[in-house]
């Protein structure tokens, strides 16, 4: 878990407003936690059967699956996303939302998560990361990324930003 409190309604709306997908595409969440962002994704209009969440912590994965029984929850490392989604969905995901506190992990782990993200995303798909830092939580140059802050809310504890990233 990366925060002292669950994501606020303001942060959930900010995340939800930045999700993009076509009706046949999935939205994938890395680090589902207690489901606050899962809720945001569903509130943004993503059907439960089009939401896949990866949560490595067994207790949290079970909680998430019980709280949202119609979504798919993988009790697995998100770096395995492509193999778990399979060829039919790999490369066809509209948005990946990362709820993992990436700034706390070594660069190599970050690189592996980002590689997993771009493997499953459709070309031009959206990679979202929310953070409590006033600057990008990822070293864009070291990771070969471009990105920008898509929004900020002071109405979260702590205040939070949503970042969008792409390769280039």
- pLDDT tens figures, 64-104: 999 999 999 999 999 999 999 999 999 999 999 999 999 99
Look up tokens 């589902």; give the residue: 32
DSSP string, 123-157: EEEEEEEEESSSS-SS-HHHHTEEEEEEEEESSSS
**pTM (two decimals):** 0.95
Q: Are 162 and 16 in contact (CB under 8 A)?
A: no
Q: Give the CATH architecture of domain 9-167.
A: 3-Layer(aba) Sandwich (3.40)
Give the pLDDT score at 1: 44
Q: Do you know the residue count of the chain? A: 168
């Amino acid at each position: 878990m990366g925060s002292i409190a669950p994501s606020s309604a303001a942060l959930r709306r900010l995340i939800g407003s930045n999700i993009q997908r076509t009706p046949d595409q999935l939205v994938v969440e890395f680090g589902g936690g207690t489901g606050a962002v899962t809720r945001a994704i569903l509130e943004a209009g993503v059907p439960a059967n089009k939401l896949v969440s990866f949560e490595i912590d067994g207790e949290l994965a079970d909680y998430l699956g019980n709280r949202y029984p119609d979504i798919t929850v993988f009790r697995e490392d998100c770096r395995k996303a492509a193999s778990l989604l399979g060829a039919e969905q790999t490369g066809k995901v509209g948005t990946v939302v990362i709820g993992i506190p990436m700034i706390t992990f070594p660069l190599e782990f970050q690189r592996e998560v980002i590689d997993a993200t771009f493997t499953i995303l459709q070309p031009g798909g959206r990679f979202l990361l929310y953070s409590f830092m006033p600057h990008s939580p990822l070293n864009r140059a070291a990771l070969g990324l471009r990105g920008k802050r898509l929004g900020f809310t002071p109405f979260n504890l702590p205040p939070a930003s949503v970042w969008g990233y792409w390769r280039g």
